[in-house]
Structure 1
Amino acid sequence: MDKTVCITPSDIDTAQAAFFADKSHIIAKNAVCGKGVRDVARVPEQVAKNTTVFDVEVKQGKRTNQKRSGRCWMFASLNTMRMRVMKKYKLSTFELSQAYPLFWDKLEKSNWFFENIIDTCEQPVNSREVSFLLTDPISDGGQWDMFKALVSKYGVCPKEAMPETACSSNTSDLDTYLTRYLRLCAKQLRDAHAQGSTVEHLRSMKKTYMQNVYSLLVTCLGQPPAKFDVRLRDKDDKLALSGTFTPLEFFKEAVALNLDDYISLISAPTADKPFNRVYTVSRLGNVVEAGGVRYINLTPQELKDAAIAQLKDNLPVWFGCDVMQSFLREEGIMDLDALDIDTLFGFDIMAGFDKAARLDYGESLMTHAMVLEGVNFDADGKPSLWKVENSWGDDHGKDGFDTLADSWFDEYVYQVVVDKKYLPADKRALFESDTPIVLDPWDPMGSLA
């Protein structure tokens, strides 16, 4: 066999000799084996540049905690909405139920999954599209348009009206058994199709499956309230809101947000996604009748401009990013210079990839959603540091909030959601009129936060 295709003892000897000939490698080995990569690569001077004071800042209330669940997109969405309730009724803090949309999302995603399975029955089970559908049919993750669809249909409620359960705080078992059931149903639907069943019969089978999904969800999360009583007291302990509401009534009265005003801006500089075009993602969604997602692809600077305009109006901003890149979790710092990985290992690991290449080669995509609640500016009036509301509780970062360097924003922020009035008129018109380009289901812009 050609020795260039396999690892030889000589190759190992050469690599070993090169490693131990450099004392810095030995120091790095000893440190990393004892403390881990990020702790050793941490750059203290960058940590020292962080601040707790911001030029523009939205006050949000107590930090929320998604615990062991993938509901960051829900927490981020609800955290932008709760601000309106707090302002309207002069509350010191407030939380909307995160278990409530989780219930309806799981139900709607199950229906969405079954419809996609029915639609792809003619394809082989090992086709890329069917394999993709079966991989993770009931993920905790989501995107803004999916949350908008849930709220439009089901409304919201205070946390007290549908509190957390063991299965909402830790969704592992719920997801495991629901996923297994959905895959079993997918097999039965495909088998029935192969035996000549009509689409109408497959949908009648789906109705039975959905009753079982509903039963599983009530068992794990409790019954969502049809109505609930509300008593909100303001900062002076005066009764600010009292009454009985349905979830849709409470959203209309307390949140009072026009969901159609809020749109998704993405920034993906890959060759297949020209800027100033509108995109959607095939088979991405949850509520069937609401359709899928819709984005306009803009430069990072345009995303920043819209976010800053909304922050200056004292409104927080939902955003999606690749959170673990160049991230110091304990300090809550997202900064390209916070970790010096390449010096630690002695060769380029972080350098060499630009944003487009990271997306094309599977190195980066949106993994987490949070809320922008502040920004600092440099001497030239350009953003330098952003304040971030996370949903990991108050025991990390600076009492639960993180900071995000502006250079990190350029590289790892992929999506922001803003009121369309903060966009230039030509971008608004484009978003509303352009026929969307349909991306593949596995496109990185279809990743779920």
Structure 2
Amino acid sequence: MDEMKSVTADDLAAAREDFFAERANVVAKNAVSSNGITAAARVPEGVAANAMTFDVEVKQGERCNQERSGRCWMFASLNTMRYRAIKKYNLKTFELSQTYPLFWDKLEKSNWFFENILDTLDEPLDGRLVSYLLADPVGDGGQWDMFKSLVKKYGVVPKEAMPETACSRNTREMDSYLTRYLRGAAKRLRESHAAGVAAEDLAEMKKEMMGDVYHLLVTCLGEPPARFDVRLRDKDDKLALSGSFTPQEFFAEAVGMNVDDYVSLISAPTADKPFGHTYTVSRLGNVVEDGGVRYLNLPIERLKECAVAQLREDLPVWFGCDVGQSYLREEGIMDTAALDVDGLFGFEVEGCMNRAERLDYGESLMTHAMVLEGVNLDESGHPTLWKVENSWGADHGRNGFDTLSDPWFDEYVYQVVVDKKHLTDAERATYETEQPTVLAPWDPMGSLARVR
């Protein structure tokens, strides 16, 4: 036996002796085994620093709930949009349908998947690329640019015009059966190609498959409305908006947002992504004719500066983060000072890698999208604490709101969406004119916000 390769009895004896020699280790063992790691590592002084009062704050309507779905990116996008309607018409609250974009996203992702399959017919089935395409062809996750594409093509509707269904509240069944159909369809397309079927006939096969996808989605989610009636009453119960609209007309009238003005800023300090340049992700998107995603990579401080500037203009900010890190979920607190995991274990666990190293080694990526709706600033105008609207209902956190400390922002916020007017002239020119570097489909900046 090679003792340098194996765990020996002497190794175990030494580790046991080292562990039980420290009183703190025994206390930690008892606390963690009884209550779990997060509860035992909770720091009350850190929690106390997360008060829900803010220097700059936008006032949102009632909380929304994505329930058992991965639609956080849709909820975050719609929450930034409904705020404009609430403000414009002096509404107490208002909610846009989240089922409506879910329908079109599933349909467009299915078409995107088929186009990728047709583009990779000669790639090996067990190769990394095709395996990646088959892994999760129509999951719930997404990015701001993908939502922007949906809105430009399909508009938005009030929640009453396309309400929730059992399959939108809990998407697992629908996703499972749609994914199975898509994989089976991919098999048919690849086998037909191998048998010599012409490209134009494969395209016709895809059109028929898309018909099946439409049938499945209507069965699960209902038919999206082509036109609907709207009556909105303001806080004084006066009729503020009334009429018949198409989804595109309603977006223009009630939201009135030029979505092309809003750009995605990321902060990925890895060696392969120099700051000050644009990036896209191969094979990532949903609406084929609108293309994929586009990011401008900037230092984290620039993301904060742009977010604060937009909040000062009384507009919320869509952002993406790794929500599972240093997070007291029930209390709605994202704060590196509110949990001391390394102190609990007695060595570096959370602190064993920096931001760039976590991205490089697969420890962190964007998992969840939410909305920044407030910020506290110190004497120099630097942010110290952020107010976050989540999409997990009013029972989560503090009436559906979370707080996010500025050190947590430094570590785990990866993306903000802001009006490009908040960029410098040089940054805006780079975003609009530079040919973006294409990242691999599995790059961490290609992750989709999807946490349930």
Q: Normalization by structure 1: what TM-score?
A: 0.99
Structure 1 segment 21-100 matched on structure 2, within 5 A: 21-100=21-100
Q: What's the CA shift string for 1:225-262, capped at 9, x where partnerless?
A: 11111010000000000111111110011111111111
Q: Which residue of 2 aligns with 1:157?
A: 157
Structure 1 segment 296-445 matched on structure 2, within 5 A: 296-445=296-445
Q: Which residue of 1 aligns with 2:275?
A: 275
Which letter does structure 1 place at the counterpart of 2:436? P
Which letter does structure 2 place at the counterpart of 1:232? L
Which letter does structure 1 place at the counterpart of 2:104? W
Aligned-partner SS, 1:3: coil
- Worse-matched range after superposition: 218-227 or 19-28: 19-28
Q: Which residue of 2 aligns with 1:263?
A: 263
Which letter does structure 2 place at the counterpart of 1:116? N
C-alpha distance in 2, partners of 1:406/1:197? 57
Unpaired stretches in structure 1, ≥5 consecutive residues: none
C-alpha distance in 2, partners of 1:192/1:98? 37
Structure 1 segment 220-231 matched on structure 2, within 5 A: 220-231=220-231
Structure 1 segment 112-123 matched on structure 2, within 5 A: 112-123=112-123
- Worse-matched range after superposition: 90-99 or 18-27: 18-27
Percent same amino acid at aligned positions? 69
Structure 1 segment 124-163 matched on structure 2, within 5 A: 124-163=124-163
C-alpha distance in 2, partners of 1:352/1:320? 23
| Structure 1 residue 210: Cα displacement | 0.8
Q: What's the CA shift string for 1:321-359, capped at 9, x where partnerless?
A: 001111111111111111100111111101131111000
- Worse-matched range after superposition: 5-14 or 124-133: 5-14
Which letter does structure 2 place at the counterpart of 1:325? Q
Which letter does structure 2 place at the counterpart of 1:110? S
Aligned-partner SS, 1:216: helix
Q: What's the CA shift string for 1:351-381, capped at 9, x where partnerless?
A: 1311110000000000000000000011222
C-alpha distance in 2, partners of 1:349/1:87? 45
Q: What's the CA shift string for 1:292-319, capped at 9, x where partnerless?
A: 0001000111111111111011000000
Which letter does structure 2 place at the counterpart of 1:317? V
Aligned-partner SS, 2:64: coil
| Structure 1 residue 8: Cα displacement | 2.5
The answer as to 2:10 corresponding to 1:20 is no
C-alpha distance in 1, partners of 2:11/2:199? 60
Aligned-partner SS, 1:364: coil
C-alpha distance in 2, partners of 1:197/1:190? 10
Q: What's the CA shift string for 1:68-96, capped at 9, x where partnerless?
A: 10000000000000011011111011000
Which letter does structure 1 place at the counterpart of 2:193? H
C-alpha distance in 1, partners of 2:190/2:22? 60
Which letter does structure 1 place at the counterpart of 2:392? W
Q: What's the CA shift string for 1:147-189, capped at 9, x where partnerless?
A: 0000000000000000001110111101111111111111111
| Structure 1 residue 13: Cα displacement | 2.6
Which letter does structure 2 place at the counterpart of 1:219? T
Which letter does structure 2 place at the counterpart of 1:323? V
| Structure 1 residue 129: Cα displacement | 0.6
Structure 1: which 4+ aligned runs deviate by more than 4 Å?
none
Unpaired stretches in structure 2, ≥5 consecutive residues: none
| Structure 1 residue 197: Cα displacement | 1.5
C-alpha distance in 1, partners of 2:10/2:176? 47
C-alpha distance in 2, partners of 1:150/1:411? 31
Q: What's the CA shift string for 1:77-125, capped at 9, x where partnerless?
A: 0000001101111101100000000000000000000100110111101
Aligned-partner SS, 2:175: helix
Which letter does structure 2 place at the counterpart of 1:76? A
